[in-house]
A and B are shown apart, each in its own frame.
Chain A
Amino acid sequence: MRWIWIDRFEEFESGRRAVAIKNVSLAEEHLHDHFPGFPLMPASLIVEGMAQTAGILVGEARNFAEKVILAKVKRATFHALARPGDQLRHEAQIEQLTDSAASTVGRVRVNGELLGEIDIVFSHIDQNISGIEFPRENFVFTREFRALLETFRGSSGKRILL
């Protein structure tokens, strides 16, 4: 399994806001265990989807120079369940951004209806944990994550005609 919980960026305004979608599908193995006969996307993975949307937004704002780590989920409130066939729309906005950290506000919608509210604080770890050496390469933003953004910039999600 790949640890990527968003499928595509739909909107991306550098340093300000981003929107990514996630299609919930019965092809995802874990849905058959969560729960047998009543498949639901786990709320924790919806939080992860928001963390990826907002995290890439925060990372891109500093040109991926910082290792952006989720420090704290300030709020995760859910109003509805996410079921197979649903398309989640993760809307993330940067509220505050400094050299050492960032805070984001997030809304998850399905068909325009509010499903969840997820606010996160991120840390730029090299600027925070003094005395601890991290690898030089940016292990947070792997090629797979950057590819999401490149795909958006390349095609803007337009149909690719044959």
Chain B
Amino acid sequence: MPEISQDEIFDKVRQTLVDALSVEDDEVKPEATLTEDLGAESIDFLDIVFRLEKAFNIKIPQEELIPREILSNPDYVADRKLNARGLAALRSSMPHADLSEFEKDPDIDKISEVFTVSTICKFVESKLRAA
């Protein structure tokens, strides 16, 4: 992989989010959530994925960033909450995310809160390392 530091990844991710969501530089903090703090809507995720692909010259299959299959699998979901098996599946498919808060109340409508700026940085880092 080409040498790129975590700071450089953060700077590029920040610029991507500033451009995609029309937010200010200083709003893009590592702990900021994309939806709650930065105002991203689901449709913005398509845009963000395209912009990240371009900025880092990587390919991002939709399922890798947001594993919708797990969230819509009846074996994993009851009453709009993930069960233990669903959580295990989510953990293994989203190693880039910190799921500790989500696990306390695994309401699938709250999955977007898992996506912080830091989640995106870690995801990009893992893609670059695998490249």
Which residues in A have some Cβ–Cβ distance to B below 8 Å? 71-72, 74, 95-96, 98-101, 103, 121, 123, 128, 130-131
- What 1/0 mask marks residues of chain B from 35 to 68 whose CB sits below 8 Å from any chain A CB? 0000000011011011001100000001000001
B79 to chain A, nearest CB (A): 15
* Selected A-B contacts with CB under 8 Å, 24 pairs: A71-B46, A72-B44, A72-B46, A74-B20, A74-B47, A95-B50, A95-B54, A96-B50, A96-B53, A96-B54, A98-B62, A99-B62, A100-B46, A100-B62, A101-B46, A101-B50, A103-B47, A103-B50, A121-B43, A121-B46, A121-B47, A123-B43, A123-B46, A128-B46
B1 to chain A, nearest CB (A): 22
SS class of chain A's interface: helix, strand, loop or mixed?
Answer: strand
B50 to chain A, nearest CB (A): 5
Does B72 have its Cβ within 8 Å of any Cβ on chain A?
A: yes
**Total CB contacts across the A-B interface at under 8 A:** 33
Question: Complex: how many Å from CA A98 to CA B52?
Answer: 14
- Enumerate chain A residues within 8 angstroms of B50, measured Cβ to Cβ: 95-96, 101, 103, 121
- Enumerate chain B residues within 8 angstroms of A100, measured Cβ to Cβ: 46, 62
Task: Give the residue name and chain of the A residue nearest to B60 (CB).
Answer: A98
